[in-house]
Chains A and B, each alone.
Chain A
Amino acid sequence: MRSSDARRAPLGLRAAAWAVVAFLHVPLALIVLYAFSAEDQSYVFPPPDLTTRWFAVAWNDRPDVWRAIRLSFEVASYATAFALVLGTLAAAALARTQFFGREAISLLLILPIALPGIITGIALRSAYSTLEIPFSFWTIVLGHATFCVVVVYNNAVARLRRTSPSLIEASMDLGADAFQTLRHVILPQLGSALLAGGLLAFALSFDEVIVTTFTAGQQTTLPIWMLAELVRPRQRPVTNVVAVVIIALTFVPILLAYYLTRADEPGAR
């Protein structure tokens, strides 16, 4: 609903909008500042002195951080791989079809992120307990893949709807069979949307804590490590450094995903 005349927004509205944006970002900036703070006992503001010492400490002396990062990375990789396959299949089936029960199926796919994480968590936990499945790497992956499917599905469905069906018809008219059309026409069209969906699914899994606490048992993923530090801080400066690393690690896939799918947004020009 862009205004046709190049009118500027009223001052109050502009100020309110930018104030909210600042509200969203100042806390993140503050974490970066604290990572360099020389104070290691409290959260005193402003930091009395700045140092890069804690980056070295986190890098060299904390194998527990590295183990947690490694486990999160592995879980996210497997969860993303499962989600990519399942989400793409579901998108291919539902993008341009109409049949009885279609709405129910798409609701079912969205349900794992629409319901609070704690319900997904306790549901999986009671299923594991009822079936007497012991906690393992795969019990975490199973939970993560379930709510990552919808992210891939959303991206793939948006792209498939935007891709003209006449492209596929043209390919078939020119003599390609379904597999050749899939390889030379559909997949190249879908590629960047799948990459974006995969990146977001990865970021989602890498960061997930609520479901994970119910499905991990004694294993420590990076978010579970972070949660433990939040509840009982062990070495605050190291936590600050890890927080900055997480910000850096998650911003990259999110920004990449945004640039890959910009054109799929409904309001995009």
Chain B
Amino acid sequence: MTALAAAALPPVKPHPVSDFFYRRRALLVLLLLVPPLLWVGVVYVGSLLALLANSFFGLDHFSGQVVREFTLKNFAELGTGANLDVVARTVGMALAVTLACIALALPVAYYMARYASGATRAALYIAIMLPLWSSYLVRLYAWKLLLAKEGAISWVLAKLHLSWVLEALLATPVIGGHSLSFSPLGTFIVFVYLWLPFMILPIQAALERVPASLIEASSDLGARPAGTFWRVVFPLAVPGIAAGAIFTFSLTLGDYIVPGVIGDSSMFIGQVVSLQQGTAGNIPFAAALSLVPIVVIALFLWGAKRLGAFDAL
């Protein structure tokens, strides 16, 4: 019997390299990891270290050359009024955008996870994923068309005899401005539009894991739909919300293109970094300023980890 089976199989030729690695799995894993780690380690971490180093360098204002000597001048400059304003404006915008994204994402995510099934669910998933991956600049450009003074939003509001609402909003200090495409309100709308899919998908993933029986149990025990939502569904969505908030927060914090295209002339962190490294050629100060988002995001990530955000990614 064994002789028969052995005869039926083709003879196995040992492959020296294959056998060597089969017995040494750890070595194989190490060898597989070397190229990607070298790449990310050298190119990315190396660049981050260069960034950190540059933030301690100075700039010779006469020659415009970077002076490679240790100085804390850049960080002292960060503490001045104008720069603090920029940081506060950016962080405030990032928080507002994150909150608005949560409010808009919850109903869609809940609907997808609980009610939509089959073809509807697939269609919704595609409808949310397509904008997430499609061109950022084209989507920004679409809003330039929409928000223009002669554009679609003004036209629709005029047809509905609601132009006065828009005018009242634009006359409001802090959020208002010359027109929608030149106001902080416009910047805010565009940010919410751009990052919303990044919030919907993680919340949907988190709610997808909640068993329907949990909701039914809550209503069986006498909770009204609103009570069930706030006391059962929402707490279970928190890891997803935190995961989405990492994206919306970090993307808003680092963006410098949206406020340049849609918005008034007040600056955001990204714009200052971009200007300093570009026209001003002051890479050391740009480097020091870009450490601010890193610190803010690190704090944010630490908080998100405590809320269980990384289980929902």
Besides the known contacts A93-B32, A255-B126, 12 further A-B residue pairs in the complex with CB atoms under 8 A apart = A9-B115, A108-B37, A118-B255, A119-B48, A122-B290, A226-B135, A230-B140, A230-B261, A243-B135, A254-B134, A255-B130, A258-B125
Min CB distance B48 to A, Å, is 5
**Docked complex: A90-128 residues within 8 A CB-CB of B:** 90, 92-94, 97, 99, 105, 108-109, 111-112, 114-120, 122-127
Closest CB pairs A-B (n = 6): A116-B254, A27-B142, A177-B18, A177-B15, A123-B47, A17-B111
Contacts A30-B152, A123-B48 known; A1 to B210 CB distance under 8 Å?
yes
Cβ of A234 < 8 Å from any Cβ of B?
no
Tell me the bound Cα distance from A182 to B194 in angstroms: 41
Residues of A within 8 A of B12 (CB): 175
Nearest CB of chain B from residue A121's CB, rounded to whole Å: 8
Q: Does A250 contact B (CB under 8 A)?
A: yes
List of A residues within 8 angstroms of B246 by Cβ? 114
Residue from B41, B46, B129 in contact with A258 in the complex, judged by beta carbons closer than 8 Å: B129
* Chain B residues engaging chain A, CB cutoff 8 angstroms: 9-10, 12, 14-15, 17-19, 21-22, 26, 29-30, 32-33, 35-37, 39-41, 43-48, 50-51, 53-54, 66, 104-105, 107-108, 110-115, 117, 124-131, 133-146, 148, 150-152, 154-155, 193, 196-197, 200, 204-205, 207-216, 225, 246, 250-251, 253-257, 260-261, 270, 273-274, 277, 283, 286-287, 290, 293-294, 297
Whether B115 lies near A117 (C-beta < 8 A) is no
B contact residues around A1 at 8 Å (CB): 113-114, 207-212, 214-215
Say yes or no: A44-B150 contact (C-beta < 8 A), given A3-B212, A177-B15.
yes
Decide: A27 and B146 in contact? CB cutoff 8 A. Answer: yes
Q: A137: CB under 8 A from chain B? A: no
- Measured in the bound complex, the distance between the Cα atoms of B216 and A219 in whole Å is 59
Distance A97 CA – B250 CA, assembled complex (angstroms): 30
Given contacts A1-B113, A127-B50, contact A27 B135 (CB under 8 A): no
Instruction: From A7, A117, A254, give the contact of B254 (CB < 8 A).
Output: A117
Kindly identify which residue among B47, B152, B205, B255 contacts A126, using a CB–CB cutoff of 8 Å.
B47
A124 to B54, CA, bound (A): 12
Alpha-carbon gap, A72 to B13, bound state (A): 48
- The answer to whether B107 touches A17, judged by C-beta atoms less than 8 angstroms apart, is yes
Question: With A90-B36, A122-B287, A179-B18 as given contacts, are A230 and B141 in contact (CB-CB < 8 Å)?
Answer: yes
Q: How far is the CB of B174 from chain A (nearest CB, A)?
A: 24
Q: A43-B145, A207-B135 are in contact. Are A175 and B18 (CB under 8 A)?
A: no
Whether the pair A122, B273 counts as a contact (CB closer than 8 A) is yes
* Chain B hits for A99, CB < 8 A: 26, 29
| Residues in B neighbouring A247, C-beta threshold 8 A | 134-135, 138
**Separation of A177 and B20 alpha carbons in the complex (Å):** 11
The answer to whether B19 and A123 have CB atoms under 8 Å apart is: no
Contacts of A122 in B (CB 8 A): 51, 273, 277, 283, 286-287, 290
CB 8 Å contact bits of A18-30 with B (1 = contact, 0 = none): 0011011101101
A44 / chain B contacts, CB cutoff of 8 Å: 150-151
A243 vs B145: C-alpha distance when bound (angstroms): 12
Q: Are A142 and B43 in contact (CB under 8 A)?
A: yes
The answer to whether A89 and B133 have CB atoms under 8 Å apart is no
Q: Report the separation of the CA atoms of residues A99 and B30 in the bound assembly, to the nearest whole angstrom.
A: 11
From known contacts A46-B155, A86-B39, A118-B255, infer whether A28 and B54 are also in contact, taking CB-CB under 8 Å.
no
Chain A contacts for B14, CB-based, 8 A = 177
CB distance from A141 to the nearest CB of B (A): 11
Docked Cα-Cα span, A44 to B148, in Å, equals 8
A269 CB to closest chain B CB (Å) equals: 9
A267 touches B18 (CB 8 A): no
Chain A residues with CB under 8 Å of B110's CB are 13, 17
Q: In the complex, A74→B290 CA distance in Å?
A: 30
What residue of chain B has the Cβ atom nearest to residue A103's Cβ? Answer: B310
In the assembled complex, the CB of A2 is this many whole angstroms from the nearest CB of chain B, namely 6
CB-defined contacts of B260 to chain A, threshold 8 Å: 231
A210 to B255, CA, bound (A): 8
Once A120-B44, A177-B18, A251-B130 are accepted as A-B contacts, the answer to whether A149 and B39 lie under 8 Å apart by CB is yes
Q: In this assembly, does A235 line the interface, its C-beta being within 8 Å of a C-beta of chain B? A: no
Cross-chain contact B150 with A20 (CB below 8 angstroms): no
- Beta-carbon contact of A250 and B36 below 8 Å: no
**Bound-state Cα–Cα, A163 to B184, Å:** 49
Q: Does A87 contact B (CB under 8 A)?
A: yes
A146 and B43 in contact (CB under 8 A), knowing A1-B208, A17-B108, A122-B290? yes
